Amino acid sequence: MKQNINNNPKVIRKRPWSEDEDLKVLELIQTFGPQKWTQIAQYLQGRVGKQCRERWHNHLNPLIKRSPWDEDEEWILYLYHKVFRNKWSEIAKHINGRTDNSIKNHWNSGMKKKLNEFSYKFNQIKLKYQKEGVQILNEYDIQQKSILEAILSNKPLRIEQNQFQEQDNIEQEQNQQKKIRLENIYSEKYTDLEFIQDDDNVREQNLQNHELDYSNSYLDSNHKFLVSKNQIDSDDNFY
């Protein structure tokens, strides 16, 4: 039920998120989309828009990667850190599936053992660049070439159109794999529940009644599955 924000001022509570709250956020995103956080927070007692937004972006979004970091990702992180330093949210824009919190935590923990190795690798590339010029960067993929050129030539980072296409292709493949995995989860766990019909009539009725039907097939505007509560990371479960 929507809170009366005029008579009941918000009380910001720094407390763990419950499974019911997580499911409620997913349900509200189905209705309002993943942008209207102030509006979403009105249906969650003791929560504000910022909390809901961060819960989605750091834990509930099904595109978040939870697998261990591989060496290629760590090398890319090392390079982007040379440009953006500790601006984790900026780095996160260039590393698919990793949140700013995940990037920050990994840099401050897992990367410590790799810094000397990557520093040596970068210095070797730098020496070769100084001797042979920019053509030596052609042996790297588009993303590495772009970031290395920006660092070595001391120019602003440039994102090539082909890089965007390459990233889109990767994201589409990841989304398809994620969708298949989530469909299997729902078929096993929630076969006894009805699917929410994502149409204007149902949405209008929900808004008028200030009630949202619970369902287990949380879909976004593109009809892609979101996560079930079993997919929610239990680590760092605090605002």
Q: How confident is the model at residue 218 (pLDDT cuts 50, 70, 90)?
A: very low
Range ranked top by mean pLDDT from 114-128, 156-170, 191-205, 222-236:
114-128
pLDDT single digits (tens) 196-217: 334 344 444 544 544 444 444 4
Q: How many residues does the chain have?
A: 239
Q: What is the pLDDT of residue 34?
A: 87
Q: Rounded to whole angstroms, what are the CA distances from 224 to 61, 187, 227?
A: 11, 15, 10
Of the ranges 146-160, 188-202, 204-218, which one carries the lowest mean pLDDT score? 188-202
Among residues 100, 108, 106, 101, which one has the least CA distance to residue 73? 106
Cβ pair 150, 195 in contact under 8 A: no
Q: What is the pLDDT of residue 72?
A: 94
CA angle 212, 215, 220 (to 5 degrees): 85
CATH 1.20.1250.20 fits 19-62+169-231, yes or no: no
Q: What is the pLDDT of residue 192?
A: 35
Coil, helix or strand at residue 177: helix
Of all residues in the chain, the percent with pLDDT exceeding 70 is 60
Q: What is the pLDDT of residue 156?
A: 81
Q: What is the pLDDT of residue 155?
A: 83
Mean pLDDT, the chain, as a whole number?
A: 75
Where is pLDDT greater, at 204 or 34?
Answer: 34
Where is pLDDT greater, at 161 or 147?
Answer: 147
pLDDT of residue 195 exceeding 80, the answer is no
Distance CA 95, CA 9 (A): 38
> DSSP letter string over 92-124?
HTTSTT--HHHHHHHHHTGGGGTHHHHHHHHHH
Structural domain boundaries in the chain: 19-62+169-231, 71-155
Rounded to an integer, the average pLDDT of 80-91 is 95
Q: What is the pLDDT of residue 172?
A: 52
Rounded to an integer, the average pLDDT of 25-31 is 93
pLDDT of residue 41 exceeding 60, the answer is yes
